Amino acid sequence: MSGHSSWAAVKRQMRDARPGVSDTEWEDRKQAARTATEAYVLGHHLREIREEQGLTQAQVAASVGISQARVSQIERGEIHHLETMRTYAAALGARITVSIEYGDRIIGAA
């Protein structure tokens, strides 16, 4: 035995240790974690693009019309509004697209 647990076993242990948490709340927690991870990754990629272009956070902030502190927050994944992200991406010459995934279909939404 390797001494390591499978991911399924770890999840089962977490559920067993918190019997008062409903299935709905577990799903809500998973979705919140997924959303936070996606925001972090998006912010990371925007930072990479900015750095590739040799721009400072202050330069992007001036172009977008937000503070340098807000640019820093976005790059750390603190994303609250899609339109801000679109404006930030546009300042870098990029664009953000949105799609709806339903079953096995992916629909471009915006």
SS3 of residue 93 by DSSP: coil
Q: What is the pLDDT of residues 12-67, one digit of tens each?
A: 888 888 888 888 998 898 888 888 888 888 889 889 999 999 999 999 999 989 99
Closest CA to 85 of 52, 54, 41: 41
Please tell me the distance from the alpha carbon of residue 90 to that of residue 95, in angstroms, as a whole number.
Answer: 6
Would you say 51 and 44 are in contact if contact means Cβ atoms under 8 Å apart? no
pLDDT at residue 2, rounded to an integer = 67
Q: What is the pLDDT of residues 15-30, one digit of tens each?
A: 888 888 888 998 898 8
C-alpha distance from residue 19 to each of 3, 10, 24, 61, 87 (Å):
26, 15, 13, 46, 44
